[in-house]
């Protein structure tokens, strides 16, 4: 059974960097059959796609966040991570990591439970 | 970016009803359309992918159809556990955008 678990600080000060890690169990992030994403959801609002990283290390970021995002993989730990710099209150959200299937439809079939990150001084 | 527009934004229905949610893309996305169900405080759950393929273990009362720009999610015979928010998502072109969601409530 595949499981994803987000971890990281729940409170970040404005202008600082948000760092989150997703630990994957029950499957390898090095598999070429999947890609690995971050998606966020501001309180009471809809889902916003942040970006993805492939096992090869290739990345694609949302244009609206691209200048502030870095995603990376840590294959020895079966983890991937998100860094978002220069945060503001607008970055307050529940952050989800998710596994995308690299085949027809490219859907997200497994999600982490989500972690709330609040940006506040 | 491809814009995804769902209608209605909210919907009231009763147990046993048949409901349909529509998702429209701002440009053709072929069949690259996925549907998710989200309950309060939980992560989204994949229901339908590639417009019409039912995800494993999802009840057959859920079905999806459509292509190009217009898609529908139908729930036939609503069950109490189906009251939730539903999102469509296009995976045709990055960024993979979501619809704004449809909140399905009990009448």
**Chain A residue numbers touching B87 (CB-CB < 8 A):** 46-47
**Chain B residue numbers touching A98 (CB-CB < 8 A):** 43
A103 confidence band (pLDDT: 50, 70, 90): confident
3-class DSSP state of A32: coil
Pair type for strands B102-106 and B10-13:
parallel
Q: A49 and B34 in contact by Cβ < 8 A?
A: no
Helices in B1-107 by DSSP H: which ranges? none
Most B CBs within 10 Å: which of A106, A109, A112, as the mutation test of the B interface?
A106
- Estimate the share of chain B in helix, then strand, then coil, as percent rounded to the nearest 5: 5, 50, 45
Q: B43 and A49 in contact by Cβ < 8 A?
A: no
Q: B32 and A106 in contact by Cβ < 8 A?
A: yes
Residue B66 CB neighbour total at 10 angstroms: 19
What is the spatial distance between Cα A120 and Cα A104, in angstroms, rounded to a whole number? 41
A118 confidence band (pLDDT: 50, 70, 90): very high
Q: What is the pLDDT of residues A3-62, one digit of tens each?
A: 999 999 999 999 999 999 999 999 999 988 999 999 999 999 999 999 999 989 999 999
Q: A108 and B1 in contact by Cβ < 8 A?
A: no
Burial class for B55, CB neighbours closer than 10 Å (0-12, 13-18, 19+)? middle
Q: A62 and B45 in contact by Cβ < 8 A?
A: no
For chain B, the residues whose C-beta falls within 8 A of a C-beta of chain A are 1, 31-34, 36, 42-46, 49-51, 53, 55, 87, 89, 91, 94-101
What is the spatial distance between Cα A74 and Cα B6, in angstroms, rounded to a whole number? 37
Considering only alpha carbons, which residue of chain A is nearest residue B55? A109
**Chain B residue numbers touching A114 (CB-CB < 8 A):** 43
Q: What is the pLDDT of residues B16-71, one digit of tens each?
A: 999 999 999 999 999 999 999 999 999 999 999 999 999 999 999 999 999 999 99
* pLDDT confidence of residue A96: 98
Given a contact cutoff of 8 angstroms between Cβ atoms, the answer to whether B107 and B98 are in contact is: no
């Amino acid at each position: 059974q595949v499981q994803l678990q987000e971890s990281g600080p729940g409170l970040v000060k404005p202008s600082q960097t948000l760092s989150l890690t997703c630990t994957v169990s029950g499957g390898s992030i090095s598999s070429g059959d999947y890609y690995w994403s971050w998606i966020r959801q501001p309180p009471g609002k809809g889902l916003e796609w942040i970006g993805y990283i492939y096992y090869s290390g290739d990345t694609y970021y949302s244009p609206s966040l691209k200048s502030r995002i870095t995603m990376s993989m840590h294959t020895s730990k079966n983890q991937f991570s998100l860094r978002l710099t220069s945060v503001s209150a607008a970055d307050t959200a529940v952050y989800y990591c998710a596994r995308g299937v690299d085949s027809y439809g490219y859907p997200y079939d497994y999600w982490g439970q989500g972690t709330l990150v609040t940006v506040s001084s | 970016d491809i814009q995804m527009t769902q209608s209605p934004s909210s919907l009231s229905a009763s147990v046993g009803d048949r409901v349909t949610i529509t998702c429209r893309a701002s440009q053709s996305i072929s069949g690259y359309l996925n549907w998710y169900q989200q309950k309060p405080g939980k992560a989204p759950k994949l229901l339908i992918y590639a417009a019409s393929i039912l995800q494993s273990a999802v009840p057959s009362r859920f079905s999806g159809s459509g292509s190009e720009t217009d898609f529908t999610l139908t729930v036939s015979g609503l069950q109490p556990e189906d009251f939730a928010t539903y999102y469509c998502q296009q995976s045709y072109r990055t960024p993979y955008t979501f619809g704004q969601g449809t909140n399905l409530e009990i009448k």
